[in-house]
Amino acid sequence: MAVDGLGTYDDNNVFAKILRGEIPCKKVYEDDWALSFYDINPQAPVHVLIIPKGRWVSLADFATSASAEQIAGFWRAVGTVAHQLGLEQAGYRCLVNMGENGGQEVAHLHVHLFGGAPLGPMLARRGA
């Protein structure tokens, strides 16, 4: 049973198509574990996505079913991308949206990496 309320993995999701090369992306980095590319709708001067090379719906799914090697390889790739983009000195933010309350739109695990300017508070203030 799915751990995350998102259902089973859909091979037709947009990131699955990018991984198969059926949809183009502006690639930043690729290794055995991960693919990174620029977000199509950037929310910061630098906004890239890092996705694992596997059929994981969400972080909950990944944490539950990926191997230690797959988890290590993926998170190392996140750090490598930040390093390659030169974001480490000034700093950056990683974000994973998970499930409905997290606002996850694409049901293939992805890490957002933001940088290039001060990013402000961690969450927008709720209306009074």
Beta carbon of residue 98, minimum distance to ligand AMP (angstroms, whole number): 9
- Nearest alpha-carbon partner for 36 in 123, 120, 94: 94
Query: Contacts with ligand AMP in 42-61 (CB under 6 A)?
Result: 49
Q: According to CB under 6 A, which one of 3, 14, 85, 94 is a site residue for ligand AMP?
A: 14
Could you say which of 47, 83, 110, 112 is catalytic? 110
Q: How many CA atoms lie within 13 A of 39 on its CB side?
A: 18
Residue 97 in the binding site for ligand AMP (CB under 6 A): yes
Task: Give the separation between CA 37 and CA 64, rounded to whole angstroms.
Answer: 25
Residue 28 in the binding site for ligand AMP (CB under 6 A): no
Instruction: Clarify whether 110 is annotated catalytic.
Output: yes
Task: Give the separation between CA 117 and CA 54, rounded to whole angstroms.
Answer: 32
Task: Give the separation between CA 28 and CA 50, rounded to whole angstroms.
Answer: 9
Binding site for ligand AMP (CB under 6 A): 14, 23, 25, 39-41, 49, 97, 103-106
